[in-house]
Chain A
Amino acid sequence: MQRRTLFAVAAVMVALLLICGCTGTTSDPTPAEKQQLRIATTTSLYDTKLLERLTPIFEEEYNAEVLIVSAGTGKAIEYGQRGDVDVLMVHDRVREDAFLADGYGVNRRVFAYNYFVIVGPESDPAGIKGMQPEAAFTAIREKGMAGTPGVVFVSRGDNSGTHSKEKAIWKGAGFNYSADVQGSGDWYQEAGTGMGATLEMANEKQAYTLSDIGTYLAYKGDLDLVTLVDEGDILLNIYCAMQINPAKYPDINSTVAKDWVNFMISDDVQKEIASFGVDQYGRPLFYAAQDDWEKIGVPQAEVKDPIA
């Protein structure tokens, strides 16, 4: 008796499983004719709403649907490595180089750049205003370690492109990041979140942080933080788009991915990028990379040549 009941229950469950399996496939939300393009992007391009401005133009022109997952550069690269997206939009030349060298990515094109800024409270308790970035970091660390009241640095702490840049600045200032900075005291706090959220957190704590200028300007209205350091070669911030290698993941949407990368370096979009945010913030959030390849030190082909 017992056994028969159990068997009956098991049979019902198997039947349900089959039904669910069928309904699962029928509700699969893939529009028939439209191509889907999956992009993993760094948060700054998303939070500034640049992509929100560009995607409708692309969708119209290419009859595609753009699905954007906004994550830090580290996470975006992870999605790319796993073949879960078709295009990466990130800003970390060093890790991009490794990604390309490992064969995960192809056809990198640089479409925009801007600069990182060190922002902090107007009172500037560490006195870094107008310093070079490396000197400013040294001063923040020194004052922070000494327990000067109000000296706190909030780090992205999420392996994003901005976090990479921060580490590079610490290195440039002569510190070993994991030994001298990370966990060296209450003055250094890791947020583990996106740029916007990190700025909100730094604002709440009236702390220093490193931000890309685009996200900072887009959030400025809500923040009491001011730009303290904005000059120094190391602060250059270069954005690229690249395809995930179709040789690695053959069923990837490589045609529309190629269209997207070419779209980003097209004259129209470059103009769009150069003017984006001017009406709202009085200055552009990003500079178009098109004519400045020499200035930002990338090969001309990465800026000018569309993918064949």
Chain B
Amino acid sequence: MYEIIEGFVEAIRLIVTLDPDVMAIAARSVIISLTATVLATLFAVPLGAAIYFGTFRGRKGLINLIQTLYALPTVVVGLLIFLLISRVGPFGSLRLLFTPTAMVIAQTVLILPIMTGLTISALSGVDPVLRDTLRSLGATRLQFLVNIMKEARFAILAAVAIGFGRAISEVGAAILVGGNIMASSFASSTRVLTTAISLETSMGNISESIALGIVLLIIALGVNLAITTVQHR
């Protein structure tokens, strides 16, 4: 119990004093996961819309597959990306392994299914009356699409928030393709909040771990507040 209290006190000290190491790790986490979320959004929303509006064979199966991939373990994604970008892998010449770019790629792949699936759900949740109204008013295909998407935007925003949450909280892929490197320059380092927590805990530095955990939650809170604000506007 004493350990936990001590951890919290240390955590508050590290956060209040803006400890440079902790801040750099937190900033790196946000940059990597936010980039991954933006990339995944750019793929997932159009893809989700295409699947939702599309009529093609195997559509149901595809949706099932996407939903199954919600449970994709982060280490499996990490392993897959590792094998692809390791030097002997097909993209080895790009030398991406152990770089932040590799982590962005892995996190993008990781959250793509859940964001695509939730986009489909968001569109399915649109009131059918709106669809009928739009059709009966003779909306063009584009007008139809724009209006449905507009109606579903809050639910799509929620999908983005969930994607970001999964990206910033995962550790399996980050450690496999990033390597948890603490280099002298910010851009070459791949230590993020989750991998740092994992390392600090294994080294017995419990208070640092708690501090980093609290920082992670503060970031999540900030993102949620931002999204709620947008939703209520």
Q: Which residues of A contact B (CB under 8 A)?
A: 1-2, 4-6, 9-10, 12-13, 16-17, 20, 24, 27-29, 31, 34, 36, 38, 47, 55-56, 59, 65-70, 82-84, 193-194, 196-197, 200, 219, 222, 249, 251
Say whether B46 contacts A84, CB under 8 Å: no
Q: Is the CB of A83 within 8 A of B88?
A: yes
Complex contacts, A10 vs chain B, CB 8 Å: 50
B132 to chain A, nearest CB (A): 17
In the complex, A29 Cα to B201 Cα: how many Å?
Answer: 28
CB–CB A222/B204 < 8 A: yes
A83 touches B202 (CB 8 A): no
- Residues of B contacting A197 in the complex (Cβ-Cβ under 8 angstroms): 201-202
- Knowing A20-B39, A194-B202, the reply to whether A69 touches B183 (Cβ < 8 A) is no
Could you tell me the distance between the alpha carbons of A6 and B86 in the complex, rounded to whole angstroms? 35
Contact A70 B180 (CB under 8 A): yes
Apart from the given pairs A68-B181, A83-B87, 8 other A-B contacts in the complex at a CB distance below 8 Å: A20-B39, A24-B104, A29-B100, A59-B184, A65-B183, A66-B183, A82-B87, A194-B202
5 contacts between A and B (CB under 8 A): A28-B99, A31-B188, A66-B183, A196-B204, A251-B93
Contacts of A55 in B (CB 8 A): 184
Please tell me if the beta carbons of B87 and A29 are within 8 angstroms of each other in the complex. no
Could you tell me which residues of chain B, from 156 to 201, have a CB within 8 Å of some CB in chain A?
179-185, 187-188, 201
Instruction: Tell whether A16 pairs with B87 under 8 Å between CB atoms, given A68-B181, A196-B202.
Output: no
Cα distance, A251 to B95, chains bound together (Å): 10
A5 touches B98 (CB 8 A): no
Contact yes or no, A2 B55, CB < 8 A: yes
> B129 to chain A: which residues have CB within 8 Å?
none
Find out whether the CB atom of B92 lies under 8 angstroms from the CB atom of A67: no
By the criterion CB–CB under 8 Å, are B98 and A69 in contact? yes
User: Once the chains bind, are A13 and B46 in contact (CB under 8 Å)?
Assistant: yes
A235 to B63 CA separation, bound complex (whole angstroms): 57
Asked whether A200 and B98 contact (CB < 8 A) given A65-B183, A69-B179, the answer is: no
Nearest CB of chain A from residue B206's CB, rounded to whole Å: 9
If A82-B86, A82-B87, A200-B202 touch, does A13 touch B47 (CB 8 Å cutoff)? yes
Contact, CB under 8 Å: A69 / B180: yes
Note all chain B residues with C-beta closer than 8 A to A83. 86-88, 92
Tell me whether B49 is interfacial, beta carbon within 8 Å: yes
Cross-chain contact of B188 among A6, A65, A69, A249 (Cβ < 8 A): A65
Q: Is the CB of B54 within 8 A of A27?
A: no
Contact (A5, B86) CB under 8 Å given A59-B184, A69-B181:
no
Contacts of B202 in A (CB 8 A): 193-194, 196-197, 200
Cα(A80)–Cα(B107), bound, Å: 25
CB-contact partner of A47 in B50, B93, B180, B203, under 8 A: B203
Known: A29-B100, A69-B180, A200-B202. A249 touches B87 (CB 8 A): yes
Give the bracket for the number of chain B residues in contact with chain A. 35 or more
Let me know if B49 and A9 touch, CB within 8 A. Answer: yes
B50 and chain A: residue at smallest CB distance = A9
| Complex CA–CA separation, A219 to B46 (angstroms) | 52
Q: Is the CB of B87 within 8 A of A56?
A: no
Q: How far is the CA of A94 from the CA of B181 in the complex (A)?
A: 28
Taken together as a complex, chains A and B put the C-alpha atoms of A249 and B97 apart, in Å, by 15
Could you tell me the distance between the alpha carbons of A222 and B141 in the complex, rounded to whole angstroms?
67
Q: Which residues of A contact B184 (CB under 8 A)?
A: 55-56, 59, 65-66
Residue of A2, A31, A65 near B54 (CB, 8 A) is A2
B42 to A, closest residue via Cβ = A16
- B146 CB, min distance to chain A CBs, angstroms: 12
Task: Using known A-B contacts A4-B141, A20-B39, A219-B204, determine if residue A82 contacts B181 with beta carbons closer than 8 Å.
Answer: no
Q: Does B145 lie at the interface of the complex (its beta carbon under 8 Å from any beta carbon of A)?
A: yes
Q: Pick the contact of B145: A5, A28, A65, A200 (CB < 8 A).
A: A5
- Find chain B residues with CB under 8 A from A47 CB: 203
A6 to B47, CA, bound (A): 10
Name the residue in B35, B39, B92, B188 with the highest tally of chain A Cβ atoms < 10 Å from its Cβ. Answer: B188
